[in-house]
Chains A and B, each alone.
Chain A
Amino acid sequence: MTTAVQCREITKTYKNKRALNELSCTIEKNKITGIIGRNGAGKTTLLNMIAGHRRVTDGEIQVFGANPFNSLTVSANIVFINDTMNLPNGLTCLEILEEGQNFYRNWDHELAGRLFEYFGFTRHDIHERLSKGKRSMFNAIFGLASRSPLTIFDEPTTGMDEAVRKDFYRALLKDYIAHPRTVLLSSHHLSEIEDLLEDVLLIKNGREHLHMPVSDLKEYAVSIQGSERAVTNWLGGKNIIARRSGPAGRLYAVVENTIHDTHIKEAREKQLDLSPVSASDVCVYLTDERKGGIDDVFE
């Protein structure tokens, strides 16, 4: 079996808000998949369903072939790291790690101890009293050390400074190379994690919008820029993802990358600026609800 998570048309409604809307997706085993989307797109809701913390309103979800809701087998194989984790304050952080060892079959206590020390935790630290960044790092250590077959990090770097974030991503990559497992990583900052990922799952309005290798996403779109008339001519028949009018009759547009050498030549002849679009910018354009951009607010 190569599938870790299978969602079939899952819907989740909270009161009268639809957080997930018939979302379907298949996540393959032993890959690092980035869960990307705007605020409120449904990332956290989806991860909650996968972890079995909430029940789906409609549809079917399977994790390692079983329904995750209320399943002890599934939860023994999952770790779900986020910034609302409820860890007991009656225990010190070190004691929490020791409890992890009792619960998770693959737990690496030596790794936990070394990370604990490296990131400057002490034996008297209490989870609740840690700073935001430190708490995130502690949660991340817990997630790494558990070596769970399905490891979910929902915005794991909230509050971490840049050096710590880099260390965390490096630690995740090294441990993944040594012990491959299925990792789901959600973030607002695709550019920060894209090199780490194999696949990207882009969520928009509670649905799967795109699911592809990150390397394909990087070649998914190109941008074109120049005088409005020349760009409009060049755009004829192409699939436009976004267009923005700039000052002095300039036009900037993003199109799906189905262009050929003749288009490149034409752009060069008309002195249009044709450039690749980064994976993270592609996601921003694809998930933009508004037509136009922030500039239009000031028109």
Chain B
Amino acid sequence: MNLNTDGAKPIYIQISEWLETEILNGNFGYDEKVFSQYQLAEMFNINPATAAKGLTKLVEEEILYKKRGLGMFVAGGAREAILEKRKDQTLRRLVEEIVAEAKHLNISEEEVIRMIREVNQKGEGEEK
């Protein structure tokens, strides 16, 4: 992953989101040890304190748990928690943006829903 360093999103949040995606993709299972702050710092060329902040965020959200002296591990229910969070925050925000833009362009709710369906069907067609 390349970090987006233009300042739009804090690096530590990008680190925590990257780790979440790794967990969602199954690269880290329950009770499995994730990268240490120093490994993350080396991988992404960032200060270890920034990497630690990304890890701490996930501990606070109970996606990771800490074993003293051993490192950070994936908590039970981490996947569900991440999915719930992404639905609640990321997806909701995107929908809000769509709704605002539609309003701005004077496009009806029905038309927006129709567009979403179209994209969905197109996606399914490509998968087949």
Binding site for B on A (CB under 8 A): 31-32, 169-170, 173-174, 177, 191, 194-198, 213-215, 218-219, 268, 271, 275-281
Candidates B44, B45, B49; contact of A198 at CB < 8 Å: B49
Whether B7 sits at the interface, judged by CB under 8 Å, is yes
Q: Is the interface of A mostly helix, strand, loop or mixed?
A: helix
Most central of B11, B12, B49 by chain A CB within 10 Å:
B49
User: Nearest A residue to B3 by beta-carbon distance?
Assistant: A195
What are 15 A-B residue pairs whose CB atoms fall within 8 Å in the complex?
A31-B49, A170-B45, A173-B42, A177-B41, A177-B42, A177-B48, A195-B11, A196-B45, A196-B47, A198-B47, A198-B50, A215-B53, A276-B8, A276-B9, A277-B7
* Option from B38, B45, B48, B49 in Cβ contact (under 8 Å) with A213: B49
Question: Is B120 an interface position by the 8 A CB rule?
Answer: no
Across the interface, which residues of B come within 8 angstroms of A279, CB to CB? 7
- Chain B residues whose CB sits within 8 angstroms of the CB of A280 once the complex forms: 7
> Whose C-beta in chain B lies nearest to the C-beta of A198?
B49
Contact between A195 and B48, CB atoms less than 8 A apart? no
Q: What residue of chain A has the Cβ atom nearest to residue B38's Cβ?
A: A177
Partner of A219, one of B10, B38, B46: B10
Q: Is B68 part of the binding interface, using a Cβ–Cβ cutoff of 8 Å?
A: no
Within 8 A of A (CB), among B1-30: 3, 5-12
A218 with B10: CB separation less than 8 A: yes
How long is the Cα–Cα vector from A197 to B5 in the complex, in angstroms?
Answer: 13
Question: Shortest beta-carbon distance, A184 to chain B, in Å?
Answer: 14
A107 to B12, alpha carbons, bound, how many Å?
33
B104 at the A/B interface (Cβ < 8 Å)?
yes
Residue of A nearest to B44 (CB): A195
* Complex contact A215–B12 (CB within 8 A): yes
Contact between B47 and A218, CB atoms less than 8 A apart = no
Determine whether B100 belongs to the interface, using a CB cutoff of 8 Å to chain A: yes
Q: In the bound complex, how far is the Cα of B7 from the Cα of A31, in angstroms? A: 22
Closest-CB distance, B97 to chain A (whole angstroms): 9
Residue of B11, B38, B45, B104 near A215 (CB, 8 A) is B11
Q: Cβ of B42 and Cβ of A174 under 8 Å apart?
A: yes
The residue on B at minimum CB distance from A277 is B7
The answer to whether A197 touches B10 (Cβ under 8 A) is: no
Chain B hits for A213, CB < 8 A: 49
B42 touches A278 (CB 8 A): no
> A268 and B53 in contact (CB under 8 A), knowing A197-B47, A219-B10?
no
